[in-house]
Amino acid sequence: MADKMLTDHERRKQISVRGIAQVENVANIKTTFNRHLHFTLIKDRNVATPRDYYFALANTVRDHLVSRWIRTQQHYYETDPKRVYYLSLEFYMGRTLSNTMMNLGIQATVDEALYQLGLDIEELQEIEEDAGLGNGGLGRLAACFVDSMATLGIPACGYGLRYEYGIFKQLIRDGWQVEEPDDWLRFGNPWEKARPEYMIPVNFGGRVIKENNKSKWVDTQVVFAMPYDTPVPGYRNNVVNSLRLWSAKAENHFHLKFFNDGDYIQAVMDRNLSENITRVLYPNDNFFEGKELRLKQQYFLVAATLQDIIRRFKANKYGNRESIRVDFKTFPDKVAMQLNDTHPSIAIPEMMRLLVDIEELDWDTAWDISVKTFAYTNHTLLPEALERWPVHLMESLLPRHLEIIYLINLNLLNEVKARYPDDLDRMRRMSIVEEHGQKCINMAHMCIYGSHAINGVAALHSDLLQKHTFKDFFEMWPEKFQNKTNGITPRRWLLLSNPSLADLICDKIGEGWVTKLDELAELKTLANDQTFLDALTRVKRENKLRVAQYLKEEYNVDVNPNSIFDLQVKRIHEYKRQLLNCLHVITLYNRMKRDPNAKIVPRTVLVGGKAAPGYHMAKQIIKLITSVASVVNDDPIVGDRLKVIYLENYRVSMAEKIIPAADLSEQISTAGTEASGTGNMKFMLNGALTIGTLDGANVEMIEEMGKENFFLFGMTVEEVHKLENNGYNAQSFISKNSDLALCIDQIENGYFSPDQPDLFKDVAGVLRHHDRFLLCADYESYIKCQDEVSKTYMDSNKWAKMCLMNIASSGKFSSDRTIADYAKDIWGVEPSEEKLNAPYEPVEADHQRKGAKPS
C-alpha cells in the first residue's frame, strides 16, 4: 500500500491530461517560488515553515492567474456582453490551490519544480484551510456553478459574504458534537484581493418621510461593504471570472459625542457591532430562524451587490459621466441576476427602491425592469425552511422596504382578484403578507411574483413545487416555472479528486469528457471488457486502501479494505434519515450476535456531517451513531465484519478524499423531501452504487443508468401522501417487525448507553410517536434492499459492471450542462468555447483601453 501511495509524483508526471512539464517552465516556477519566499514572506529556507512554503506556492500559482484575470475583465469591458450575477449567501469553495493548478494546466510543472526543491506538493496542499463559506448542498452547488460559468466562458460574477468565521469546526467529544470557531482566515488568504476603492455604504434602521409625494429614507445607520475579489478560473480557456465577497466595515469616523465624553472604548465597541454582520455564517439552511442578524446579512449582501451592479452597468454603457441621464430600459439586456434560494430575496424591493427613489423611474417601468432581471431558484420543499420574516423586524431594520413590499403585494392581490374575482381564499394563500398568527412577509411568494423565471433543482422537485408548494402561482403563471436539475463540476469531483480513475477513462476515450461529461457514455461499450472491468476494480481498491490508511491514522480504527465501504455524508437532518442507516447497523450487529458464525458480507459504515448547533434531535442522532460505533467496533464477535466511524468535521477537502473510495452511497431521504441532492451525483461519477428512494435527483439518475444499476427501496411520493392522509401510525409497523422492535428497544433501554440508560429516550420517542419522516414504514424495504446490496457485492464482476454503468451514465449531472440550460432558458446568454488570449505577463496597455477597469 505504501508503495502505491509513494508513486503519486511519478504517476502525475505521466498524466497526459495535465500536460508535460517543460524544463524552462520548471525553472521559472522555482525562481518565482523563491522570489515569493524571500520578498513576499521575507523568509529563507533556514527559518521557513511548511505554511510559509504553502503561501509561497499559492502566490506563485496566483501569478499565473493575474494576467488572465485582468485580460478577461478587459474583454468583458470592451465587448460589453450581458453579464450574469449569481447571488448566494453561501459559496462552499473548499480549497483553491489544487483546483487552480488543474484548471490552468500547470499541475505537473509545479509538482516537478517542488520535487526538485525537496518539497512535497501534497503536504503543502494539506496546509490550505477550506474556505468554509457554506454549509451543505446549496453552497457547494454555488461553487460548482461559478466554476462552470468560467469554463463555459459566460461573463459572470458570484456575489456573497466574506464570513470571518465559517459555519463551525466540528469536534466529536465523548460522542457528542462540539462546535469550535472555524477561524479560516487566521493566517490570511492568498487568493483574495481587497478592493477598498469600491467600498459601498449600506443603510439600516431609520425612518421614512414624505417629500413632494416621494418617500425618503432618513436617519439611517450606515455600514460600509468592503469587496474582496477571488479569481475563478475556467478549465484551460484562459477565462478568469470573479467571486466578490462583501465584508462589513464601520464608518471611518467615531461619534463625536463619545470623544467629548472621553468614552473611546464605547466608540470602538460600536464599530464592532457594525462589523459583526459578516462575522459568522448561520448554520441553519434547512430551518428558518427569524433572527435580526440573518436579515441584516441578507440585506447587506443585496444592497452592496445591487449598487455595484448598477455602477458597473453605468460605467460600461456611459463611461464615467455621472451627470448623464441613464436609460435603464436596457438594463435587463445587460444584466441577469439569479437568486440562490430566498436568502437574497430582499433584492427585489431593494431594486425597486434604487430605481424609484434614487434613479427616479416610475413604478411600472421599474417593476418591468426588475422582473425581467431577476430569476429565482427554490431549494426546499420543507415548510420550516421557507423564509417568513416578521413584519415588526422588517419595519425596524428596513422601513422603506416594508412600504415597497406592501405596494408589491397590493399589485399582486389586484392581479389575482382580476383573474379569480370571487376566490378570496386564493388571495389569502397567495399574499406576500401573511396575516394569520404573527404578521409575516413570505419571501418565496415575493420571489415568484418578482421574477421572470422560477426553477426547481430536480424534475421531481419542480413537479412538486408546481403541484403542491406553489400550486396557486403555477396555475396563474405556468410560463414562469422551469426545472433545472442540479449538477457537479467534473473537474473537482473526478479529475482532481480521483486521478487514477480519470487516467483510466482518458486512456479509453480521451480527455473530452472533462468539459463534455456526456462523452462518458462511450464507456458503456466496455461493459463486457474484462480487462477494463478489472482495471476499474483495481482503481477502487487502491482508493479504498488510501482511505483505510487515513482512517487508521485519524481514528485509530482498522477497517477491512475488502468490506463494503458504505457512506452517508451530508448535513445531519431528520429528513435525510441518518437514523434509518443507524437502524440498519444495529440490525446487522444483532444478526452477528444471534449467530456469530453467520455469513455476513463485511461492511465499513462511514457517516459524516454537521448538525446545526441548536438542532437537538440531530445532535442526538450523532451521539447515537457514535455510541453504536463504540459497542460495535469493540465487540470481538463482530471483528472486522462491521466497523462504524463518524467522520469528524466533514468538509469539501474530506469529501475529495473519501468519495473516490465509496462502494455504496446512502441517499435515503423520505420520498418528496430532498430537493435534488448533489452528493448522490459525486458518488455516481466516482463509481459508487446508490441505495436510495425515489426522491430528488435519484429519479433522474435511475432514468440515466437503468433501474438494474440502482438499489431502490421505499415508498413513492404518492404512497407517502396516501399513508399520511390515512393517518400514519409508526407503532403498527414496529409491532409487525421484530427486528425493528428490538432495535428501538435497545435504543430506548440504554443498550448503547449503559452509563446513561435514558440517554436516547427522545430518539426512541421520535421513532415510536413522532416519526414524521416515516422511517418505520420504510425500514423493512430498506433492510431487504441492503441484503440485496451484500449479495450483489459478492459477485465482483456484476458489481464492477454496475459501477461502470453508473460512471458512464453521469453525463447529465455535470454543472456545465446545468449552467448551459440556465444560460439558454433563463439568462439569455450564450456559452462560448472560445479561449481568450491571455499572456503570462501583466498587460501594459490599460491606459489606452478607453479607461477600462478590471472590476
The answer to whether residue 570 is catalytic is: yes
- For every residue of 94-107, DSSP letters joined together read B--HHHHHHHHT-H
Sequence-distant (6+) residues with CB within 8 A of 422 are: none
The number of residues making up the chain comes to: 855
Task: Confirm whether 51 is a catalytic residue.
Answer: no
Catalytic residue among 353, 401, 641, 682: 682
- Residue tagged active-site, from 570, 610, 643, 812: 570
List Cα–Cα distances, 566 to 639, 643, 767, in angstroms. 17, 10, 23
Which cell numbers hold the place of 713? 427501496
> Would you give the distance in Å from CA 148 to the centre of its chain?
14
User: What is each CA distance from 539 to 10, 186, 503, 636, 823, in whole angstroms?
Assistant: 17, 38, 10, 31, 36
Using CA atoms in the order 78, 80, 86, 92, what is the torsion angle rounded to 10 degrees?
-20
Q: Are strands 689-692 and 664-667 parallel, antiparallel or unpaired?
A: parallel
Contact 661, 618 (CB under 8 A): no
**Active-site option among 492, 571, 584, 812:** 571
Alpha carbon dihedral 458, 464, 466, 469, in 10-degree steps, equals: -120
What's the angle, vertex CA 539, arms to CA 532 and CA 701, rounded to 5? 75
Catalytic residue among 36, 296, 388, 576: 576
CA dihedral 174, 662, 503, 527 (to 10 degrees): 180
The alpha carbon dihedral of 468, 469, 472, 477 has a sign of negative
SS3 at position 441? strand
Give yes or no for a contact between 480 and 433, defined as CB atoms under 8 angstroms apart: no
Name the nearest CA neighbour of 199 among 240, 227, 176, 238. Answer: 227
Residue 518 · residue 817 · CB < 8 Å: yes
Q: Which position among 12, 62, 343, 379 bears the catalytic label?
A: 379
Q: Which helix (H) or strand (E) holds 78?
A: helix 50-79
- Give the closest residue to 113 by CA, choosing from 34, 44, 37, 18: 34
How many other C-beta atoms can be found within 10 angstroms of the C-beta atom of residue 839?
Answer: 11
Pairwise CA distance, residues 403 & 395, whole Å: 9
Catalytic option among 100, 469, 678, 693: 678
Give all strands of the β-sheet with 433-434 in edge-to-edge order. 388-390, 440-442, 433-434
Interatomic CA distance for residues 828 and 823, integer angstroms:
6
Tell me if residue 576 is catalytic.
Answer: yes
Active site residue 584: no
- Whether 678 is catalytic: yes
Establish whether 193 is a catalytic residue. Answer: no
Q: Which residues are catalytic?
A: 379, 570-571, 576, 678, 682
